[in-house]
């Protein structure tokens, strides 16, 4: 698998706020964790509900891949996110730990922090 391409397509689905396309990347029994879901979300149905609410409540967010490297069973990726048009709402730096089951995400842990203005 070309993890650089996979990561870029996945982050594009985040940018597009495309819940169906995003969920297609995740295994049915996936585990998803980010700072707002520290206990984790189990399964695609829970992830779908979370993403639907998240995307409705957030401004446009543009995710740009920075670096991707393989690890046993998956990959890690760093990215930037501009919030709002042209980053008017700020900028984030993020990191994803991704464990794959075939070509679908079984585990996704997201770490993020605000960038200085």
Q: Going from the N-terminus, what domains does the chain have, and what CATH number goes with each?
A: 3-114 (3.10.450.50)
Alpha-carbon span 6 to 86, nearest angstrom = 25
Going by the DSSP 8-state scheme, the letter that residue 40 receives in this structure is -
pLDDT tens string for the chain (117 positions)?
899 999 999 999 999 999 999 999 999 999 999 999 979 999 999 999 999 999 999 999 999 999 999 999 999 999 999 999 888 889 999 999 999 999 999 999 999 999 987
Burial of 15 (0-12, 13-18, 19+ CB in 10 A): middle
pTM over 0.85: yes
């Amino acid at each position: 698998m070309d993890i650089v391409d996979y990561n870029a397509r996945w982050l594009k689905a985040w940018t597009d706020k495309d819940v169906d396309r995003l969920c297609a990347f995740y295994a049915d029994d996936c585990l998803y964790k980010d700072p707002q879901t520290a206990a984790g979300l189990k399964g695609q149905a829970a992830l779908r509900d979370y993403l639907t609410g998240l995307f409705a409540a957030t401004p446009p967010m543009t995710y740009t891949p920075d670096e991707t490297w393989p690890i046993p069973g998956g990959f890690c990726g760093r990215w930037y996110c501009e919030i709002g048009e042209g980053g008017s709402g700020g900028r984030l730096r993020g990191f994803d730990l991704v464990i794959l089951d075939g070509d679908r995400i079984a585990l996704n842990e997201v770490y993020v922090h605000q960038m200085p203005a």
